[in-house]
Amino acid sequence: MSRDPAAEALVPKFQFEKLLNQDQAGRRVVLLGSIDDVPALLIAERAPFAADPEHLSSFASSLANVTNLGNNDIYKWYLASSSSASASADSQPPDLKINLFHPCTPQLIAKYSRQGIRVVTETPTVYAEHVRPYVLRKQAEGRVNWVFNILEGRTEQEDVMYREHGPEGFLVLPDLNWDRKTVTALHLLGIVERRDLLSLRDLKKEHVDWLRHVKRKLVDATLGMYPKLEWDQLKFYVHYQPTYYHLHIHIVHVELEAGATQAVGKAISLDNIISQLETMPDGKGMADVELTYTIGEASELWIEVFEPRRKELRDNA
């Protein structure tokens, strides 16, 4: 494609009037303005990151105005500005959200590496005999110590937006992937205080009233922090499999771009969980249902549980 100098000269002449829209979690803006007194729309979207080794080797050192937002165990997160030769570092607003895992674990490396995805079906028997023992091992290895640090008041207390103490208590804080500014990209976490609920599999019919109470409080806390929001602009869901095994509820704005975190086979609506529990006999719960979800080929669960079962089923076919 050939360059057109006349077309290139138009962009610097754009006179901004108003912001029409900001979407894709804040990565695209639609601006109304004019060029030579003629109405114009300018749509700007962040380009993909360069992937060549030469650029990536200097990427971290080129960042400006690196500001830490939080630090808990191996997890750190920041705002930063892309470097620019034409502007001083102090004049650049932050345009990057940075997460740092240090020291990182082999499990985190596997999680964030490009990998194939599989659809698996977890029966109550597979859960009881294979998945739950795996979950208990991960908890014993200290995988959720950073959550306990928050619950016990050792870290991130300045980020806690709401807290209700007690055996059925919980707290609310921002998800580390949210920039804490873009309301339409809102992403909060409701983390329960009790430690007997490791995932949605531990929820039973007896928890229905408590779950309804938690949701009401999560709505109140969120609207209290962001009064321009309304209750029907919020979505509540639980991941399965979750990133960490301590029950937590995701609260997101309905306009948040539905990426992997909200995908079918990952996110399960809190309202749907409550409704399903209500239909169950007393004493029954989510451990008694069959769940189908997606899983990465580099994950421990795929390697240790589902891939061997797949091979066994294929060999017996």
Query: What's the confidence (pLDDT) of residue 288?
Result: 98
Which has the higher per-residue pLDDT, 238 or 97? 238
Percentage of the chain beyond pLDDT 90 is 49
Kindly indicate the confidence band of residue 163, based on its pLDDT and cuts at 50, 70 and 90: very high
Q: Same domain for 80 and 165?
A: no
Average pLDDT score over residue span 61-68: 87
Average pLDDT score over residue span 203-212: 97
CA–CA separation, 35 vs 24, rounded Å? 26
Q: Same domain for 128 and 266?
A: yes
Count structural domains, the chain.
3
Helix (H, G, I), strand (E, B) or coil at 269: strand
Tokens read off for 196: 């007997």
Question: Which residue blocks in the chain are alpha helix, DSSP H?
Answer: 5-8, 53-57, 106-112, 124-126, 132-140, 145-151, 208-225, 270-278, 300-301, 307-316
Q: Same domain for 176 and 86?
A: no
Query: What's the confidence (pLDDT) of residue 84?
Result: 58
107 located within any domain: no
Q: Same domain for 29 and 150?
A: no
Among 66-75, 132-141, 247-256, the least confident range: 66-75
Kind and range of the H or E run holding 163: strand 162-164
Over 90: is that where the pLDDT of 213 sits? yes
Q: Considering only the C-alpha atoms of the chain, give the largest distance between any 2 of them, rounded to a whole number of Å.
A: 74
Percentage of the chain beyond pLDDT 70 is 95
Phi-psi region of 24 (alpha: psi -120 to 50; beta: other; left: phi over 0): left
Q: Same domain for 200 and 239?
A: yes
Q: Same domain for 138 and 200?
A: yes
CA 172 from centroid of its chain's CA atoms: 14
Over 60: is that where the pLDDT of 89 sits? no
Query: What's the confidence (pLDDT) of residue 222?
Result: 94
Q: Give the tens place of pLDDT for each residue, 5-56.
A: 888 888 889 999 988 987 766 677 889 999 899 888 888 887 788 888 888 8
Residue 221 sits at φ, ψ, to 5 deg, of -65, -40
Query: What's the confidence (pLDDT) of residue 91?
Result: 63
Is the pTM of the predicted complex or chain greater than 0.85? no
Which has the higher per-residue pLDDT, 185 or 88? 185
Among 42-46, 279-283, 305-309, the least confident range: 42-46
Average pLDDT score over residue span 299-307: 94
Average pLDDT score over residue span 91-109: 82
Q: Same domain for 248 and 195?
A: yes
Pairing of strands 291-296, 267-269: unpaired
Average predicted confidence (pLDDT) for the chain? 89
Query: What's the confidence (pLDDT) of residue 114?
Result: 84
Pairing of strands 75-81, 248-253: unpaired
109 located within any domain: no
Q: Same domain for 196 and 282?
A: yes
- Domain coverage including residue 86: 53-101
Q: Give the tens place of pLDDT for each residue, 112-134.
A: 888 999 999 999 999 999 999 99
Rg (CA), the chain: 23
55 annotated active-site: no
- Residue 162's Cβ-side half-sphere holds a number of Cα atoms within 13 Å equal to 22
Tokens read off for 37: 């007194």
Average pLDDT score over residue span 243-258: 92
Residue 201 sits at φ, ψ, to 5 deg, of -65, -25
The one catalytic residue among 130, 248, 250, 253:
248
